[in-house]
Amino acid sequence: MTNNPILEKKFLHIIGENQGIIHKVCNMYCDAEEDRHDLFQEIVAQLWKSFPTFRNESKVTTWMYRVGLNTAITTFKKSKRRPDRNWLSYENFQVADENHEAETEESIKMLHRAVAQLTGIEKSIILLFLENKKYEEIAEITGITQNYVRVKMNRIKKKLKILMDKEE
């Protein structure tokens, strides 16, 4: 990439305003802090690499999710071959309020453990769904059709229910 101070400034501004997206993706796919840090850097590098070709045909956040999730999924697939990596544990999720009843908190823990067992693309879809993204935007981010997003979402819900039922 060329040394273009205007482009660099614009990129850093976008990253600064939307870095929460990158953190969410890193937390969804990585257990250890060091791994989250590495993935964060890899996502930023991929965003920077693709920034000159971003044409504003979609929202910046959509583009960031797409690059971030694709990078995470690729990294996740590579790491599956290395048995020393543990991906996604309950500790990565922040429970909103410690005043939850014990039963509610246990349900949340069960859900997080079930999500940890999903595939890379399933995690991407459920993350976006939990971010209240519409199926249309999820399709745009993931690169699959809106219809297939609906099908996958139904399958993910069923899979999560089965996984959670097994735990009870």
Q: What is the pLDDT of residues 26-79, one digit of tens each?
A: 988 887 889 999 999 999 999 999 998 888 888 999 999 999 999 998 887 666
Please write down the long-range contacts of 44-51, taking CB distance under 8 Å and 24 or more positions apart.
Answer: 44/15, 46/70, 46/71, 47/11, 47/15, 48/1, 48/11, 49/1, 51/1, 51/7, 51/11
Residue 158 has pLDDT above 70, yes or no: yes
Task: Give the lowest-confidence range in 13-22, 67-76, 142-151.
Answer: 67-76
Q: Give the per-residue pLDDT at 80.
A: 57
Q: Give the per-residue pLDDT at 101.
A: 60
Q: Which domains does the chain have, with CATH numbers?
A: 1-87 (1.10.1740.10), 90-168 (1.10.10.10)
Alpha helices in the chain (DSSP H): 5-29, 33-50, 60-80, 102-116, 120-130, 135-142, 146-167
Q: Give the per-residue pLDDT at 91.
A: 47
Task: Find the mean pLDDT for residues 82-96.
Answer: 45
Q: Give the per-residue pLDDT at 90.
A: 44
- Comparing CA positions, the residue from 84, 8, 99 lying closest to residue 47 is 8
Query: How far apart are alpha carbons 19 and 156 in whole angstroms?
Result: 27
Q: Give the per-residue pLDDT at 103.
A: 65
Query: What does the mean pLDDT of the chain come to?
Result: 82
Residue 98 has pLDDT above 50, yes or no: no
Q: Give the per-residue pLDDT at 165.
A: 86
Please write down the long-range contacts of 49-53, taking CB distance under 8 Å and 24 or more positions apart.
Answer: 49/1, 51/1, 51/7, 51/11, 52/1, 52/7
Amino acid at 116: A
Q: Give the per-residue pLDDT at 105.
A: 72
Query: How far apart are alpha carbons 146 and 143 in whole angstroms?
Result: 9
Q: Give the per-residue pLDDT at 96.
A: 47
Query: How far apart are alpha carbons 147 and 157 in whole angstroms?
Result: 16
pTM, 2 dp: 0.66
Q: Which residues contact 136 (CB under 8 A, 6 or more apart)?
A: 146
Share of the chain above pLDDT 70, in %: 82
Could you tell me the two tokens for 56?
């504003």
Give the CA distances from residue 161 to residues 87, 129, 138, 155, in Å, rounded to whole numbers and listed in that order.
21, 16, 21, 10
Q: Give the per-residue pLDDT at 89.
A: 46
